[in-house]
């Protein structure tokens, strides 16, 4: 069976032939824009595949927006942080934002259950980054494995609302135990389940704010571990 070619399609194909008199100039700026668009598209596809593989472990169908990333940086207060932990880095958009905001001598430990996401994050060319496949519940052991001391900041995008409460509570207790005095725990979520679980561990959240421009809209919280002296 022959493929039917419509006049408009034939005209368009003819325009793309090398012998066509019309030549399209190569624009380096346009090409970079297209490359960024392709990269973001590929990341969204990877994120969606991860979501389909296990929706309970991926917080969103799409990666966080730049609005969300900026709010995460604001709440993380990275100026003096030397050890930063990211739980659930996904395809690395937030990871890159954290690296841009971090000190030159800081380290970022990114932990994800999905080895495919870990491989994507590990491809980021930054010597400060450690990509680790494992469970957030083992945070203390993972820090020790990589020779890191207590974390100054832990940022989490893992969905506490879709996991059993006992597992969520265990993760949050592990985060608390792994934080340095006055260390910060930052969580961004669709639902407030993380606050219900974290408040008994950390006390009331120090800061909270909606991020309505993210798609879908989310909310972000910050808790601070009190110093040993109170």
CA dihedral of 175, 61, 92, 220, whole degrees rounded to 10: -40
Has residue 124 been placed in a domain?
Answer: yes
Per the structure, the count of domains in the chain is 1
Has residue 137 been placed in a domain?
Answer: yes
Has residue 2 been placed in a domain?
Answer: no
Has residue 142 been placed in a domain?
Answer: yes
Has residue 213 been placed in a domain?
Answer: yes
Domain hosting 124: range is: 66-224
Q: What is the DSSP string of 93-139?
A: HHHHHHHHHS-TT-EEEEEES-HHHHHHHHTS--TTEEEEES-GGGH
Has residue 49 been placed in a domain?
Answer: no
CB 223 within 8 Å of CB 184: yes
We report the CATH number of the domain holding residue 126 as: 3.40.50.150
Q: Express each pLDDT in 156-170 by its tens digit.
A: 999 999 899 999 999
pLDDT cut 70: percent of the chain above it: 71
pLDDT cut 90: percent of the chain above it: 65
Q: In this predicted model, which residue has the larger pLDDT, 192 or 39? A: 192
- pLDDT level of residue 2 (50, 70, 90 thresholds): low
- Please give the Cα distance from 53 to 88 (Å, whole number): 15
Upstream peptide bond of 216 is cis (omega within 30 degrees of 0): yes
Q: Express each pLDDT in 107-140 by its tens digit.
A: 999 999 999 999 999 999 999 999 999 999 999 9
- pLDDT level of residue 46 (50, 70, 90 thresholds): very low
Has residue 43 been placed in a domain?
Answer: no
Q: What is the DSSP string of 64-95?
A: PPHHHHHHHHHHH--TT-SEEEEE--TTSHHH
pTM for the model: 0.75
């Amino acid at each position: 069976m022959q493929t039917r070619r419509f006049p408009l399609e034939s005209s368009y194909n003819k325009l793309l032939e090398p012998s066509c008199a019309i030549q399209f100039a190569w624009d380096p700026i346009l090409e970079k824009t297209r490359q960024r668009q392709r990269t973001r598209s590929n990341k969204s596809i990877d994120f969606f595949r991860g979501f389909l593989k296990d929706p309970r472990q991926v917080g969103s169908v799409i990666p966080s927006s730049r609005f969300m990333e900026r709010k995460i940086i604001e709440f993380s207060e990275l100026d003096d942080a030397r050890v930063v932990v990211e739980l659930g880095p996904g395809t690395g958009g937030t990871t890159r934002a954290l690296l841009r905001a971090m000190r030159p001598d800081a380290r970022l430990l990114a932990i994800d259950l999905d080895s495919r996401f870990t491989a994507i994050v590990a491809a980021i060319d930054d010597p400060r980054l450690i990509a680790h496949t494992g469970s957030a519940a083992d945070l203390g052991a993972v820090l020790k494995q990589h020779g890191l001391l207590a974390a100054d900041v832990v940022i989490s995008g893992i969905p506490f609302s879709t996991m059993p409460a006992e597992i969520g509570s265990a993760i949050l207790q592990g985060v608390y135990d792994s934080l340095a005095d006055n260390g910060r725990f930052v969580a961004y979520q669709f639902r407030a389940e993380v606050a219900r679980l974290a408040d008994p561990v950390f006390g009331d959240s120090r800061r909270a704010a909606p991020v309505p421009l993210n798609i879908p809209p989310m909310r972000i919280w910050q808790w601070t571990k009190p110093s040993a002296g109170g």
